[in-house]
Amino acid sequence: MDILFDVLRTAIAPSTAAFALAAIGLNFHFGLTGLLNMGQAGFMLLGMYGFAISIQQGWPIWIAILVGLAAAAVFAVLLGWPTLKLRGDYLAIVTIAAAEMVRFLGRSQSLQGLTGASSGIRGSDYKAPFEELSPFPDAIVNIGPFSMHGSRSSSWWLTAVTWGIVLLCAGLFWRLANSPWGRVLKGIREDEDAVRSLGKNVYSYKMQALIIGGVIGALGGITWALGNSVQPDSMGRPTTFWLWTLLLLGGAATVFGPVLGSILFWSSLTLVKSLASAFIPSDVLAPTELEPFSLVLVGVTLMLLVVFRPQGVLGNKKELAF
Amino acid sequence: MLRAALVFVVAAVGITAILSMGGTAEAATETEAVTTVATTGGTNLLIQNLFNGIVFGLLLALASVGLSLIYGTTGLSNFAHGEMVTFGAMITYFLATPQAVSFPLLPFEFTIAWPFWIAAPVGIAIATFFGWVQDKIIWSQLRRRRVAMIQQMIVSIGLSLALVNFIQWWMGGRPVRLVTSIDPRVQYGPISVGNVTLISMAIAIVALLGVAFFLQRTRLGRATRAVSDNPALASASGIKVDSIIRIVWMMAAGLAALGGILLALYQQGIGFDDGTKLLMMMFAAVTLGGLGHPYGALVGSLIIGVVAEVSTVWLPPDLKFATALGILIIVLLVRPQGILGKAERVG
């Protein structure tokens, strides 16, 4: 029973919503346009740095959010400019390299004063303005079997806000994907040259998709940071790979694919970890080995998914960017 | 081959010229009071870093030649290549360490403790066999099912995630040392270097020359280049494309393992994610040299290695990887086909 509650708690956790947001951004890139962005974690990291550093400077919260989103937009332009004219795998290599550069810069000792180097920025340094906006009581609140703080850190307030943003962004995806603009993007995904021969500026459309997806990714980063802390190493390459896994799990190019994928991914990870720690004796699988063990399963899941069910749970096999 | 050598010499001379200019400029901006001793110290530091860069570049080249060959023959950007580097070093540690070792999920421990000079070749052999197994059970199956290249790339990402965590699970999170003895540094003119590093360099150079000889002079090597150039045409001329690709996978895995072992000796220890960290450097090197071009990986690796190490003279050392990645992005801006690559439409 405890395991079941753990799984459900993970399913509604704000971090799950934050990953759903970042995956919606990735869905704009990959699902809609067919861009291989392997650096979504870099967008998330930029978003949270922009937000946290602005708050530390004493700026109001809405400016801080805008700074975080603008940082991601600028990053998208810088990335897309050299690479969107090239073949897909070049974009993959450049985005992954650029995301790693952001992480290296963030954890560099030379920027210690701004980013806190490898130890990052503590949550208490930037969470206060957001927590003050909370209408929930400043105490532990029990709703059903779940017990969370009303407004601090991973709170009911953050849960409500993040899932609200997820719904908004899913709605945005649905509207945009079914607009003339979205149809051009799908055209680019299916056959770039055909769209070009219709007189569309493919480069510009790809750039727009890259910026929108990156900005949503940054929003995911900001919401993630509100529940945790700004940590450059928590946004490394594995994070991007998890995003890909959960996007492909839920179904790329679908409205709710990323959301369902995020919920399924994190709850099954919790399930595997709790089952393993409950039933596998600790001399066979020590508690410290649980994390790598479950991540091995994630990697294998990604491989099997891509080969045997590339459309995921919700997807349509005809709508694939491969 | 001649063109490769030529381009490399020109690039090396160019980089040295720029760097020495930078060096003198820096020396000039310093106040008059600075004695000449400080300036020679600066030059020595530069030469030492240049040398370190060449060592790192050679080790990087060992790892990335395989990546480039795989890309050339199959078109796959293999994201799991970094783990092949770690795997080679780790399996050698597994065979050589005097401590008790075990397999994951198996509760019993045992000690192997072979001498290093036996463990290393056996480790490379096991890694080569792992390359064969990988191609046999994953990549050849995917090619047969005609799975799209992008999908294969994501499969390699999944494999990378699985392997790196498997290695962490198996070997633990701490860096391990292949040999316990400390390599004393010896001063040769302005350069201080350990003897093990010199031997590693020699081994790396011999292995790279071996690869060049294989590609240039043997029938199999010629067949490999033919497949790399045009698989369909190679197949039509009677070359067994699939067996060539399998040999390429074995070679790539073996060379990566050798690179990993030498890297572990050079930096005196290897962690479970060192190869994964190295992957970006390998991609930078391979792209810089020209994706899929057999000698491009060598040229690119040496340049990336030298730039990464020399940049530490002016920039903080924890930014040296970021510098190398910055170069990758600039190269894609001005010459996306790389230094040796043929100019072709890539978009």
Using H for helix, E for strand and C for coil, what is the string for A293-304? HHHHHHHHHHHH
CATH of domain B2-15+46-334: 1.10.3470
pLDDT for A322: 65
Question: Which conformational region is residue B75 in: left (phi greater than 0), alpha (psi within -120 to 50 degrees), or beta?
Answer: left
d(CA B134, CA B253): 10
CB contact under 8 A, B77 and A299: no
Lowest mean pLDDT among A126-135, A270-279, A302-311, B153-162: A126-135
Q: Which of B140, B150, B159, B288 best tests the A interface by mutation, with the highest count of A CBs <10 A?
A: B150
Give me the residues of chain B with pLDDT under 70, please.
1-42, 342-347
Taking a C-beta distance cutoff of 8 angstroms, is the pair A41, A243 a contact? yes
Query: What is the overall mean pLDDT for chain A?
Result: 86
Provide the 3-class DSSP secondary structure of residue A141: strand
pLDDT for A149: 77
Q: B37 touching A, CB under 8 A?
A: no
Strand B185-188 versus strand B191-194 pairing type: antiparallel
d(CA B297, CA B294): 6
ipTM entry = 0.84
CB contact under 8 A, B322 and A108: yes
Instruction: Name chain B contacts of A107, Cβ cutoff 8 Å.
Output: 318
d(CA B323, CA A108): 12
pLDDT for B32: 37
Q: B139 touching A, CB under 8 A?
A: no
Q: Which of A79, A207, A237 best tests the B interface by mutation, with the highest count of B CBs <10 A?
A: A237
Instruction: Name chain B contacts of A82, Cβ cutoff 8 Å.
Output: 329, 332-333
Residue spans of the domains in chain A: they are 14-236
> Which of these, A183, A186, A223, lies nearest to A69 by C-alpha position?
A223
pLDDT for B156: 93
pTM as predicted = 0.84
Instruction: Name chain A contacts of B346, Cβ cutoff 8 Å.
Output: 86-87, 90
Lowest mean pLDDT among A91-105, A205-219, B1-15: B1-15
Instruction: Name chain B contacts of A104, Cβ cutoff 8 Å.
Output: 318-319, 321-322, 325
What are the residues whose beta carbons fall under 8 Å from the beta carbon of B230, sequence distance 6 or more?
Answer: none
Taking a C-beta distance cutoff of 8 angstroms, is the pair B166, A291 a contact? no
Lowest mean pLDDT among A50-64, A211-225, B95-109, B246-260: B95-109
Q: Which residue's entry shows tokens 């699902």?
A: A31
pLDDT band for A113, please (50, 70, 90 cuts).
confident
Give me the amino acid identity at A223.
T
Q: Crossing angle of helices B116-134/B81-96, nearest 10°?
A: 140
Distance from CA of B10 to the nearest CA of A (A): 26
Q: Name residue A303's beta-bridge partners.
A: none
> Which of these, B78, B140, B121, lies nearest to B275 by C-alpha position?
B78
pLDDT for B345: 52
State yes or no: pLDDT of A260 exceeds 70: yes
Which H/E stretch holds residue B213?
helix B195-217
Taking a C-beta distance cutoff of 8 angstroms, is the pair A259, A24 a contact? yes
Cβ under 8 Å to A: B residues 77-96: 77
pLDDT for B344: 61
Which H/E stretch holds residue A140?
strand A140-143
pLDDT band for A228, please (50, 70, 90 cuts).
confident
- Residue A38 carries which DSSP code? -
Instruction: Name chain A contacts of B165, Cβ cutoff 8 Å.
Output: 291-293, 295-296, 299
Distance from CA of B219 to the nearest CA of A (A): 31
The structure tokens listed for B199 are: 């031997």
Residue in chain A nearest B153 by alpha carbon: A89
The values of phi and psi at residue A198, to 5°, are -85, 5
